[in-house]
């Protein structure tokens, strides 16, 4: 009986400790999405958006746990409440605003076409009859599908993240890769065998995603305004990209929370 009691008390203590150590916010992120969120040599999540969310949490007196989630799974995870918010260079779109909410944007971006240097491809016009890779459910995926006929892609191959797509491109299993330009530029900067051959203007803006009309979205939006006004967001940008953000971009300009049309 005493043994059973000791076991019961120990179990209760472990559960209490686990509850005490649970983070206030669970943040979904497609870990491996450089330079936004990836693991350092010790396995710790690092990156632009990791720093941003951590700073927001600190200012709100909250703790954070990052949960590795495939990009396409972030939407259902935030809608079901399995996570409190999601990051992964997520573009704000009118379609997405029908079912989720975003804080104000903090990064302006476009898509890009990258290739292996050995292919000799110099732009989208060279992709006729070629296989292009994209990230499943991304805006790059949507763009490639919408322009498949225009540029003559023979196939669109979908991936869960940048790294496996780049490996397949290096191995010749795909001819090009369409994805967010900042992540690709960061990835290929020390890989002469790969290069970005064309910027694809799409006028995208990234933000943190929440469940539809979640009160937390507005609270986080207020802190992002503070980070822009006191220069902290610009410092995070410069730390990861090595240069100050351009004036007039969403990294420095305070903007309204996006609303569904």
* String of DSSP letters for the chain: -HHHHHHHHHHHHHHHHHHHHS-SEEEEE-TTBTTTBEE-TTS-EESHHHHHHHHHHHHTT--EEEEE--GGGHHHHHHHTSSSEEEEEEEP-HHHHTTEEE----EEEEEEEEEEGGG---SGGGGTT-EEEEETTSHHHHHHHHTHHHHT-SEEEEESSHHHHHHHHHTTS-SEEEEEHHHHHHHHTT-TTEEEEEEEEEEEEEEEEEETT-HHHHHHHHHHHHHHHTTHHHHHHHHHHSSPPPTTSTTTS--PPP---
186 plus 212 within the same structural domain = no
> pLDDT digits over 31-76, tens only?
989 899 999 999 999 999 999 999 999 999 999 999 999 999 999 9
Are residues 217 and 157 both part of a single domain?
Answer: no
Overall domain count for the chain:
2
Residue 6: its pLDDT value, please?
A: 45
pLDDT of residue 43: 94
Residue 163 domain-assigned (yes or no): yes
The verdict on residue 9 lying in a domain is: no
Q: What is the pLDDT at residue 21?
A: 62
249 located within any domain: no
How buried is 100 (Cβ within 10 angstroms: 0-12 exposed, 13-18 middle, 19+ buried)? buried
Residue 140 structural domain: 109-203
Cβ neighbour number for residue 117 with a 10 Å cutoff: 13
- 256 falls within a domain: no
**Residue 11 is assigned to a structural domain of this protein:** no
β-bridge partners, 27: 66, 85
Is 192 part of a structural domain of the chain?
yes
Q: Are 98 and 213 in a shared domain?
A: yes
Whether 33 and 77 share a structural domain? yes
- The CATH number for 170's domain is 3.40.190.10
On whether both 190 and 226 belong to a single domain, the answer is no
The answer to whether residues 43 and 168 belong to one domain is: no
- Profile the chain (261 residues) by mean pLDDT over runs of 10 residues: 43 45 92 93 96 98 97 96 97 97 97 97 98 96 98 97 94 97 90 95 97 98 98 96 91 96 83
Domain finish residue from 183, 203, 223: 203
The whole-number pLDDT of residue 261 equals 83
Last residue of a domain, one of 178, 203, 228: 203
41 and 154 inside one domain: no
Q: Does residue 258 fall inside a structural domain? A: no
Asked whether residue 260 is domain-assigned, the answer is no
């Amino acid at each position: 009986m005493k043994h059973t009691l000791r076991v019961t008390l120990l179990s209760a203590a472990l559960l209490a400790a686990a509850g005490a150590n649970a983070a206030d916010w669970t943040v979904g992120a497609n870990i491996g999405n450089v330079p936004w969120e990836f693991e350092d040599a010790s396995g710790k999540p690092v990156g632009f958006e990791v720093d941003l969310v951590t700073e927001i949490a600190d200012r709100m007196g909250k703790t954070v746990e990052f949960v590795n989630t495939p990009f396409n799974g972030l939407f259902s995870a935030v809608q079901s409440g399995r996570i409190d918010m999601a990051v992964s260079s997520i573009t704000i779109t009118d379609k997405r605003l029908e079912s989720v909410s975003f804080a104000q944007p903090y990064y302006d971006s476009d898509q890009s076409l990258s290739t292996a240097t050995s292919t000799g491809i110099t732009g989208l016009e060279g992709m006729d009859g070629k296989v292009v890779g994209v990230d499943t459910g991304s805006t790059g995926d949507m763009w490639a599908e919408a322009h498949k006929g225009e540029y003559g892609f023979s196939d669109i191959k979908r991936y869960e993240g940048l790294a496996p797509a780049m490996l397949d491109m290096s191995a010749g299993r795909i001819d090009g890769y369409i994805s967010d330009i900042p992540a690709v530029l960061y990835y290929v900067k020390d890989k002469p065998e790969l290069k970005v051959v064309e910027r694809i203007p799409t006028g995208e803006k990234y933000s943190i995603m929440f469940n539809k009309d979640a009160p937390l979205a507005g609270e986080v939006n207020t802190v992002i305004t503070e980070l822009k006004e006191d220069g902290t967001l610009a410092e995070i940008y410069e730390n990861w990209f090595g240069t100050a953000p351009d004036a007039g971009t969403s990294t420095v300009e305070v903007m309204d929370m996006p609303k569904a049309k």
